[in-house]
Structure 1
Amino acid sequence: MQEKAQKPLVGVVADVKFIAPHPFHTVGDKYLRALVQAADVVPVLIPALTDIVAVKSWLSRLDGVFLPGGYSMVHPGHYEGELIDGTLYDEARDELSLTIIRAALDLGKPLFGVCRGLQEMNVALGGSLHQNLHLTGQYIEHREDKSLTVEEQYADAHVVRCHADGQLARITGLEEYRVNSLHTQGIDRLAPGVTAEAVAEDGLVEAFSVDGATAFAMAVQWHPEWRVMDNQPNKKLFEAFGAACRRAMK
């Protein structure tokens, strides 16, 4: 019987959540399912233990890195912002994500960020964030309506327009399409050394790629993992990431 081809191992950054009486390292089910079904890779949880493990020692065993969304916000101390009372932060995840982003790019590992992952990549590379987009007076409402069902919250919310000659347009085959929107933070100052791949109707940067990266290195603000097998543009994004991870195996 012929053996099946080995699949890439993709590290998935974990949140740290306190579920009484202990802290847990967690990753959302929908991200893992999208990686398995659409990217055709084997996801491996990366715990936020940078205080006792060197990140590069993990990366040497991985073929790619995925940065999922999360309910916490990137700590503003990483981009000279101000603390906001009542905001949920996850500094252990921040430390892991910001370290692994830079290391993955240095090593030429494929890197894909979603929602919080986009925000982390922007901060890691020298950009800044709006902590509350809805309070700036500059943008449409990007937060989900929590009074709605989960299906309704993840429904398409607005259009993104892709750069005509960009990587995102080439991957999806589209210059414009509708996406969901479930985020409070967003990009303020775009990091140097990245290129905007898509913007929302209000001008908010919704996707970018890393200039000069030797492998797939892209982030999107929406949630392409949601019902990914039923959404061709988002499925193509995961397929492109998976293909890059398979190339990294060689």
Structure 2
Amino acid sequence: MTSKAASPVPRRPVVLVPACNRWLGQHPFHVVGQKYVDAVRLAGCLPLVVPLATAEDVPELLALADGVLLTGSPSNVHPSHFGEAVHNPSLPLDPARDGWTLPLIRQCIASKTPLLAICRGFQEINVALGGALIQAVQEAGPYRDHRSDDTQPVEQQYGPAHGVQVVHGGVLAPLLDGLIDDQDSFRVNSLHGQGVAPSGLASGLRIEALAPDGLIEAFSGLEPGHFLLGLQWHPEWQAQNNPVSMRLLQAFGTACAHKKGTQSW
């Protein structure tokens, strides 16, 4: 009696999700917020959380991947990467994450691996490509305080904070067609202490949306044929109930599926 060969299991696009590094008690841990993993699944992809890696590991990791999602985090990118000293030593840093996500970003661009970056990840892309950050937005010139009020319930912290103005000529306006109001804007749940001013934007990036005070809330990459989208706000928060978030995640998932179709493994 012959047995039928098992049907191959369909493979979803694989998305790398770099972990942060935290001490919990007296032990080091690698951690990723569940909402980011859930967002990858909503994009139709299979999340693969990556613990602490090195720059030398990046080519092997990208050989496994059809996309990369860079998460938000309580930690900041170390300002030495953009030529500054630490402004506020009380704020958390994660130099181990910086040590491999910055080269990861550059190799994602070189290999045209789809890249979606949120909050800290948005800032990582700008720094990796030679841009700078404002370390304390609330202390800088005309900018408002974009930090969250940690005394409020999380639903309020991640609620809509302000509108963003979409800049036409990029990828965001056509991507969100039908979801933007008559003033070319929509509201976002942006909460952050650091930020990117237009004067600090890296070359190779294009502004996609601005906050009312002029801070950049979204950018895309200029490399033809490469999906690179950075968002200062948090589309992963309750994404399944947010049409804008779902449209963005679906576009990322489509790009990852296209990348999967061009892979040889």
Using structure 1 for the length normalisation, give the TM-score: 0.95
How far the C-alpha of 1:212 sits from its partner, in A, is 1.6
Letter in 1 for 2:85: E
> Quick one: distance in 1 between partners of 2:225 and 2:28?
36
Does the Cα contact within 8 Å between 1:108 and 1:213 map onto a contact in 2?
Answer: no
- Please tell me whether residue 96 in structure 1 is matched to residue 100 in structure 2: yes
* Distance (whole Å) between structure 1 residues aligned to residue 217 and residue 17 of structure 2: 21
Partner of 1:129: 133
**2:209 pairs with one of 198, 215, 235:** 198
Matching of residues 75-86 of structure 1 within 5 Å: 75-84=78-87, 85-86=89-90
1:13-28 correspondence to structure 2 within 5 Å: 13-28=18-33
Give CA deviations for 1:4-54 in whole Å, capped at 9, x if unaligned. 6320000001100011222111110011111112x0101101222207x52
Q: Partner residue of 1:183?
A: 192
Aligned to 2:65: 62
Segments of 5+ residues of structure 1 without an aligned counterpart are none
Matched with 1:50 is 54
> How many angstroms apart in 2 are the aligned matches of 1:193 and 1:215?
12
Asked whether 1:72 is paired with 2:42, we answer no
Gaps of 5+ in 2: 1-5
Q: Residue 164 of structure 1 aligns with which residue?
A: 168
Aligned residue number for residue 145 of structure 1: 149
Q: State the number of aligned residues.
A: 248
Contact 2:18 2:49 in 1 (8 A): yes
Q: What's the counterpart of residue 114 of structure 1?
A: 118
RMSD: 1.4
Q: TM-score normalised to the size of structure 2?
A: 0.90
Whether the 8 Å contact between 1:157 and 1:178 is mirrored in structure 2 is yes
Q: Deviations over 1:74-107 (max 9, x none)?
A: 0000000111321211000111210100011111
Kept after mapping to 1: 8 A contact 2:109/2:223: no
- Rg (Cα) greater in structure: 2
Query: Is the contact between residue 172 and residue 234 of structure 1 (CA under 8 Å) also seen in structure 2?
Result: no
String of CA shifts for 1:165-221, please: whole Å, max 9, x gaps: 320111111231000121000013000111000000011111001102432111000
Q: Which residue of 2 aligns with 1:35?
A: 40
CA drift at 1:3: 6.2
Percent identical: 41
Amino acid at match of 1:186: G
How far apart, CA to CA, are the structure 2 residues paired with 1:226 and 1:172?
18
* Residue 2 of structure 1, CA deviation: 7.0
Map 1:232-247 → 2, pairs under 5 A:
232-247=243-258
| CA–CA separation in structure 1 for the residues paired with 2:17 and 2:224 | 20
Q: Which amino acid aligns with 1:182?
A: L
Moved >3 Å (runs of 4+): 1-5
- Counterpart Cα distance in 1 of 2:225 and 2:25: 43
Match of 1:12 in 2: 17
For the residues of structure 2 that align with 1:151 and 1:3, how far apart are their CA atoms? 42
